[in-house]
Chain A
Amino acid sequence: MQMPEPDAKVLARRERILVRLAEALPEDALISDPAETRAYDCDALTAYACAPMAVTLPRSTEEVSAVMRICHEEGVSVIPRGSGTGLAGGALPTADSVVLGVSRMNRVLEVCPEDRFIRVEAGRTNLSVTGAVEDLGFFYAPDPSSQLACAIAGNIAMNSGGAHCLKYGVTTNNLLGVKMVLADGEVVELGGPTLEQPGLDLLGVVCGSEGQLGVVTEATLRILPRPEGARPILLAFDSPVTAGACVADIIRAGVLPVAIEFMDRRIIHLTENFVGAGYPLDAEALLIVEVEGSEPEIDEQLARIKAVAARHDPLEMRESSGPEQSAAIWKGRKAAFGATGQVADYLCMDGVIPTSALPDVLRRMAELSAQYGLDVANVFHAGDGNLHPLIMFDANAPGQLEKAERLGAEILTLCVEAGGCLTGEHGVGVEKRDLMTRQYAPDDLDAQMLVKDVFDPDWILNPAKVFPLEASAARRVRKGAAA
């Protein structure tokens, strides 16, 4: 993975830039000692790290605006950062950049249950948004697995999903408005506490733009009344293909579960060794299907699902009879990544396929795994086709990371060829930047970059991400002109 050469002109002005930032910010909001900036050298894609010139941790939109204005005037790249839990390297700094972290901006600004929204500062963590409204009987729907730590700012940048998006959608479907600082320091508000915004849907393109269009400092989020209850059922099958067919039939049957999770044999055994969830070990594939509602509604939906599943000769159907059993059913699924990490290093892929292609893609993925001699464990959101193949390798063995990356690229290409896409919820960042041409033609990428040209004409916000370096090269050189 290649990053652009640091701008020597910027590095030469480091002292002056730091002085200007120090003048604009409270003392504890600027970090430039390399020992202290180390925590910001990478995000959760730890394979790549680089020390930035400085880290700024503003506490208000005004301070964010001041940082942006100075960086814009000095021609310095800005790397926006939420909690640094991203898996695609979207918050990876360059040596000539300033990291702008919003984690100290975490207040709740307004809660309005009757109008069904909450307004928060963007550094607030995902789970603590729900925490602020659960006593009122509400929740915030998108639930990425990092929800304890990840910030709303990062959720918006990556348009994060989660296990329950089959019913509730992803971040963009639950985001009503933002306050955002543009590259030149101007503050704009897009959307608000209503279900529609006038004119072009700028909010829609900001969500998922990976910190390249502006720095979101406040967000208005839709909150939903919490369902009365939820209950999962565990379905075990003797083949992944049958499990895949069962998923499509459940969806066709007119019930809409909130989640359909898939685990293959490798994951079943890994999690069993790790947390002992009591999964059937003779199964080749497991589905966890969860439905919501009142008790009679749950019964009605599960009866329908069981009738569909029965047609596929399951090895076992284990319906939860109470909270303890529900927790047991979810236990292995929730421990899947941790269990895999116990036995190997792994790369987590994030490709998406049409659910109809599931059997074929699983088969071809197994062939690729054998061809590369690297184990691939599969655990994913089957209802929406979002695959998370875990490519297992040994980071200490020379060449294995590169080999795993090559296998990952082949798997993602397979997803695109099957009618899907490179990434369903993790984002492109630097990780999948150079694969973008497999999904998009040059004109498709140019249309996306036109949007950045409007919001950030000098390309100072997170410039070396999302688009292949070659495709963005001509645009990124303009940055120097601002200095």
Chain B
Amino acid sequence: MSAGAVPGAAEVLAPADEAELAAMVADAAARRAPLRIRGGGTRLALGRPSQAAAELSVARLGGVRLYEPGALTIVAAAGATVAEIEATLAAERQILPFEPMDHRRLLGTDGEPTIGGAAAVNASGPRRVQAGACRDLMLGVRFVDGRGRVVKNGGRVMKNVTGYDLVKLMAGAHGTLGVLTEIAFKVLPAPECAATLWLEGLEDETAIRAMSAALTSPWDVSAAAHLSGGPTMIRLEGLEGSVRARAERLRERLAAFGDVETAEEGPLSWRDVRDCAPFAGRPGAVWRVAARPSMAAAAVARLRAERPVEALYDWGGGLIWLLTPEQDDAGAALVRAAAEAAQGHATLVRASDAVRAAVGAFHPRPGADALAAGLRARFDPAGVLNPGLMAS
């Protein structure tokens, strides 16, 4: 165990293994001393700020535990870094299909993102539209619940309906139901070739229609993004001949929307789209809005009538990143209303502690919130795991 000073937390607990971690959680529960769960420390500013007596780091639970390229599966300890896993996979020309977002640029944080952190926030990048979200690729978990019990669920095979799927429940739970200690993922072959087609100068509404035209085509689009006032980009991936043939067909379909350029990467890299780089290092609050693509542009337009807003659309318009001034609670009421108008919801990703404390980060849901509270009360009866972080 090591100890040190951390802003907002008196002490850092850094267990060497799962058993020690479980004992520490049990001890915290007995003392009702809340813990802040930490992986690489790059995403700590997500959610409602919570008061913690100590920080519990999974950083020493590291390493790839099992990798079977022929079975498309990898199992890693929660503290393994995303970089380490991606390097291991790259040696076999495979990838984590869900393109986990690196939050460092947007949140201005340091450290190394861990796979446990990516799973805990269900970090899903541009390939979400084709290969699924982080939670879709998670096959199994081990975690320590709020009583200090070690629980396993799922496994390391692609199909598994043995009992309830707690894997999904743990994905995106931000550590509030348990501390992840190990995760198994389905991986995919790395695309041998990629092409990006892009158009410039499209209004949001038109850009979304262009992206929908691509995503409703049979040509297996792996990403579609639009920066308001900037490029509209579509990505194709796969075997070389196939990418070339599909790019040609897609180009014909998109010609109705304007001049189509093609290159390996567009004017904005997919990494920049993934990390919401256009809003990094710029003042203002950042929201992440899930929406029906066909309703997304209207929702943003409605918001723009009320306050300054910049928008980056991913997932063909199904995900909208919004940059807006922090003042007036970062526009919480307006943004949430706009999201609901697009039959979606809004998450406050970046704002000062004061704003996140005032409005919460997550979208309130009637009915579901009561069930979620019930689950937290059962999995973490002493309220020691990131308490309040997900409160809406």
Question: Which A residues form the contact surface with B (CB < 8 A)?
Answer: 112-116, 137-138, 158-159, 161, 165-166, 169-170, 172-173, 186-190, 192-205, 207-209, 225-228, 247-249, 251-256, 293-294, 296-297, 300-301, 304, 352-356, 381, 384-386, 419-428, 432, 436, 439-441, 443-448, 450-455, 466-467
Contact = CB atoms under 8 A, between A and B. Distances in A.
Contact of B293 (A114, A301, A440, A447): A114
B241 to A, nearest CB: 5
Nearest to A205: B169
Contacts of B220: 227, 293
The winner among A188, A195, A228, A256 for most chain B CB atoms within 10 A is A195
B152 A186 contact: no
Given A194-B291, A300-B242, A444-B151, A384 B378 contact: no
Contacts of B372: 199-200, 202
Contacts of A208: 161, 164-165
A423 B161 contact: yes
Nearest to B70: A248
Given A114-B294, A193-B343, A199 B368 contact: yes
Q: Which 8 A-B pairs have the closest CB atoms?
A: A204-B168, A248-B70, A424-B159, A188-B367, A454-B374, A194-B290, A198-B363, A254-B189
Given A115-B294, A200-B375, A444 B161 contact: no
Contacts, number: 270
B212 A114 contact: yes
A175 to B, nearest CB: 11
Contacts of B238: 297
A204 B294 contact: no
Nearest to B293: A115
Contact of B160 (A192, A249, A352): A352
Given A300-B239, A301-B239, A166 B158 contact: yes
A202 B165 contact: no
Given A199-B362, A448-B153, A172 B70 contact: no
Contacts of A446: 149
Interface in B275-290: 290
23 contacts: A165-B159, A172-B168, A186-B367, A188-B367, A194-B292, A195-B128, A196-B124, A196-B290, A199-B362, A202-B371, A202-B372, A209-B164, A293-B242, A294-B245, A296-B241, A352-B155, A354-B68, A354-B71, A421-B162, A422-B162, A423-B161, A447-B151, A447-B153
B16 interface: no
A304 to B, nearest CB: 7
Given A198-B363, A199-B390, A297-B239, A448 B163 contact: yes
A365 B371 CA distance: 43
Contacts of B160: 352, 421, 423-424
B192 interface: yes
A194 B369 contact: no
Interface stretch (B108-116, B130-138, B194-202, B225-233): B130-138
Given A116-B215, A204-B171, A454-B374, A420 B155 contact: yes
B217 interface: yes
A356 B70 CA distance: 7
Given A115-B293, A159-B165, A194 B344 contact: yes
Given A201-B168, A443-B150, 9 more contacts: A159-B165, A172-B168, A209-B164, A355-B71, A385-B158, A420-B155, A428-B163, A450-B375, A454-B375
B362 A198 contact: yes
B93 interface: yes
B315 interface: yes
Contacts of A420: 155, 157
Contact of A193 (B239, B292, B367, B378): B292
Contacts of B290: 194-198
A452 B190 CA distance: 39
B103 interface: no
Interface string B348-374: 000000000000001101011101101
A421 B155 contact: yes
Nearest to B93: A254
B162 A384 contact: no
A300 B168 contact: no
Contacts of B21: none
A209 B345 CA distance: 25
A255 B239 contact: yes
B29 interface: no
A62 B167 CA distance: 32
A225 B129 CA distance: 12
Contacts of B151: 443-444, 447
Contacts of A173: 132, 136
Contacts of A197: 290, 345
Nearest to B177: A200
A29 to B, nearest CB: 25
